[in-house]
Structure 1
Amino acid sequence: MLKIPPTSAQAQAMIGMMNAFKRERICYYELFPVFDEMYRKAGKVTKIAPNAYSFDKDLGFDVILMEDVRQEGFKNMNRLEGLDMDHAKSALEVLAEFHAASATYIVNNNGLPALMMAPMLKDGMVEMLAKSQEPQEQVLVECLPIYKAEYLKEKLISYRPKYLKEILNSENRSMEDFNVLSHGDCWSNNIMFQHDDKNNVLNTLLVDFQVGRFTSPALDLQYFLLSSTSLDIKLKYYDYFIQYYHQKLIENLKLLGYSRKMPSLRDLHMWMYDYSFMGYTVLLKSLPVILLDPKATKDINMDNMMGDENDGGAMQKAMYTGEGYCKQMQQLLPWLANKGYFD
């Protein structure tokens, strides 16, 4: 499978601004082979992502030639339903392997390749982000009565500038912190599963590493748990999932000979609060897209979402008033508020 940079001007601008394609090439061609070798030397056969292959000659532009794991039966699960317990735990296991390998690599090599170490948000990008999400924030507030959360209106409005400040603060990392290479977009469509003939999970792989960076493991963990697990287990087992991920993280850190102090479960819970802004990110930007039922929006597509006002407005209405999204918001909003995520 050949992955090439996008051709549309808007997508190219976004990819270029974040160096997204370069980040992914670093992951596949520089880091993942090293991570695989680290586990091999430690006596563990595992695989975090599909294999990538190089061309014999320069093509004149960047590409990623990837193994097509669909030929081995790997597939995504239904994003509208979310991951059940077995799939969620399997995803957490491979995420813990990925984070443990990168954390060990960071300590052993005094960091990651330079692009991954640099803050992703450059001058003016926070202001651009604030401006771009104003329409979504307006629709979200207008729909609060549908979510039975109108009482949170003032709290959500006052949280907006704090949200942007928290994102900016998260870019400031020290080498003394427990750091990993994040996936950056760890939700169910970027996770592929292989099953046996009884539909049990055999293997799990992560894909699409375009926004990976030097940061806390809480960024990926918070995003995954709130975006990708099914609603019946999302909040009920939230703390259990954190404990399970921590257990697997420590197992792999020990296996790889991580030489610094191991993070405690308490540490991880504190980091989840530090990255609580991901909760707002998920409910404002991710879940509206993840839970958008194509059957209910057959005349609307993602291409015209950013087009004329009528198409864009229709898309946003569908996103923020869809049945699946409303069900999640009725539970997520009070839960996040009660944890102090909007304070």
Structure 2
Amino acid sequence: MLPTWLTEEYIQGHLRAYCQDEQLRVLQLWAKPATEKGGNYVGVMTRLYVDYEDGSGALQKKSYILKQACPADASQSKLFQEYDVYNREMDMYELVMPKMAALLREIGFTEKLTAEAVVVDRERTIMILEDLATLRYVNADRVQQLDWAHTKMTIELLARFHAAALVLNQRYPELLRNNYSSHFFSRGKKGYEEIFTGLFKAFLRYVNTQPSLKERYSEKLEHIAAHLMEYAARSVDVGDKDFQTLIHGDCWTTNVMYQYDDEGSPVTVIPIDFQFSTWTSPVVDLLYLFSTSLRAEVRAKETELVQLHYYALKKNLEKFSYQGVVPSLHEYQLQFERRRFMTVIIANLFQPIMVYAGTEEPEFLNLYQSTPAGVRFQDSMYACEKVKRIVANILPRMPRASWILSEV
């Protein structure tokens, strides 16, 4: 069901402006959901189908993606309003990404950077974007996760993004001055504190069912639980000596899309969904990607991946003739290590949701609340053999991560 304001006349006016064609005439408009239930908690995604006649008289059949804020009565609505994710993403699509794309063209990168915004309607808190599926962009399998080829391509994408953002901030400092400081772990905000606390309780409940894990880690995890959000916030904190830029903020398999050649190999990649783009250290994007989206054999090459990003970032900055201090590789790796606590949070709390393939109801509240339905969903996440392996691999790193953060 389309919103009452979303009429053929509304679409026609915006398409005329976008296509620079005042003779364009919309003939038909219809829609269907663009995601399955549980596929997107931040908003409502609808695929719009538009038949129109352009100024030359040619019939065009196009599809677009309508992104709307959560309904006011949705359980997560206040949460996302608190973090102002909708205004931030509208700013990213309308103001930031087009300028970043123009900057990248200056250094010879001519591929698409992200979906173009056809409509940014701040009064209604909606956007209408290109439908990337029509350009043969698709998501990789979130359960199977990324192999080396996908990972390398994604890290190179992040290096371009981070470099362009640094130069953008030098040329247009006012553009990134507002609305890019809050993140999942922001102090003074309560929404994600409730979510992460609930997720951590579910994680600890699982650990306590495994005798070998309980003996080694339960006491440490109880200590972390009392300081969870502070430790997490420190992992995103930056000081004067830290290398800083605008990051994607939520870079995992669902928020990047790939084109493939005839043999099924990825050839291009673009980012989407910028609700949590934040000004912080670029290694935060790496830690998030590594903790959510990489196959075990790729994650094992973590040091090599950090180096890959560092040299790609440095190469792009050199092409820009960037005037600013770039850390040494050793300093960059230290910034990465100091934030390793993110892997405890993301890998153990978020990744079980991200790779979930069970049958329990994926309602938002079930992710973290201790209702009977919530406990069933949470326990089913940790029943997955893949998630059990993730936990077993991550937990041995926890004491080191906690120790580093305690020294910050």
Q: Which residue of 2 aligns with 1:246?
A: 310
Task: Answer with 203-212 or 284-293: which moved more.
Answer: 284-293
> Which SS does the other structure have where 2:401 is aligned?
coil
Pairing 1:13–2:78 present: yes
How far 1:134 moved relative to its partner? Answer: 3.4
Matching residue's letter, 1:231: A
Aligned mates of 1:20, 1:137 — CA distance in 2: 24
Instruction: Select 1:312's aligned residue among 355, 369, 374.
Output: 374
- Where structure 2 has 5 or more consecutive residues not aligned to the other structure, the ranges are 1-64, 404-408
Partner of 2:269: 204
Map 1:207-222 → 2, pairs under 5 A: 207-222=272-287
Query: Which among 204, 220, 230 is matched to residue 141 of structure 1?
Result: 204
The structure-2 alpha-carbon separation of the partners of 1:136 and 1:42, relative to structure 1 and needing over 3 Å to count, comes to closer
Contact 1:76-1:193 at 8 Å conserved across structures: yes
Between the aligned partners of 2:370 and 2:391, the Cα distance in structure 1 is 28
Q: Is residue 53 from structure 1 mapped to residue 118 from structure 2 by the alignment?
A: yes
Judged with a 3 Å threshold, the aligned counterparts in structure 2 of structure 1 residues 260 and 60 are, in CA distance, closer, same or farther, namely: closer
8 Å CA contact 2:187–2:233 kept in 1: the answer is no
What is the rounded CA distance, in whole Å, between the counterparts of 1:66 and 1:148 in structure 2? 49
The residue type equivalent to 1:274 in the other structure is R
TM-score, scaled relative to structure 1: 0.88
Give the 3 Å change call, closer, same or farther, for CA 239–171 of structure 1 in structure 2. Answer: closer
The aligned counterpart of 1:331 is 393
1:22, distance to aligned residue in structure 2 (A): 0.7
CA RMSD between the two structures: 2.4
- Structure 2 Cα separation of the partners of residues 172 and 110 of structure 1: 20
1:180 aligns with 2:245: yes
Q: Report if the CA contact (8 A) 1:39-1:46 is conserved.
A: no
Deviation at 1:302, TM superposition (A): 2.6
The farther-off stretch of 199-208 and 5-14 is 5-14
Partner of 1:99: 162
Aligned match of 1:157: 222
Q: When the two structures are superposed, what TM-score results if normalisation uses the length of structure 2?
A: 0.75
Rounded Cα–Cα distance in structure 2 between residues aligned with 1:99 and 1:209: 14
Change in Cα spacing, 1:105 to 1:170, as seen in structure 2 (3 Å) is farther
Q: Note the residue ranges of structure 1 that are not aligned, 5 or more in a row.
A: none
Larger % of helix: which? 1
Find the aligned partners of 1:276 and 1:122 in 2 and give their Cα distance: 17
Whichever of the two has the greater Rg, that structure is 2
Contact 1:147 1:326 in 2 (8 A): no
The 1:232–1:254 alpha-carbon spacing in structure 2 relative to 1, beyond 3 Å, is: same
Cα offset, 1:54, TM superposition: 3.3
Name the SS of the counterpart of 1:192 in structure 2.
strand
Q: Is the 8 A contact 1:99 1:217 kept in 2?
A: yes
Measured after TM superposition, the shift of residue 177 of structure 1 is 3.9
Single out whichever of 307-316 and 10-19 deviates more from structure 2: 307-316
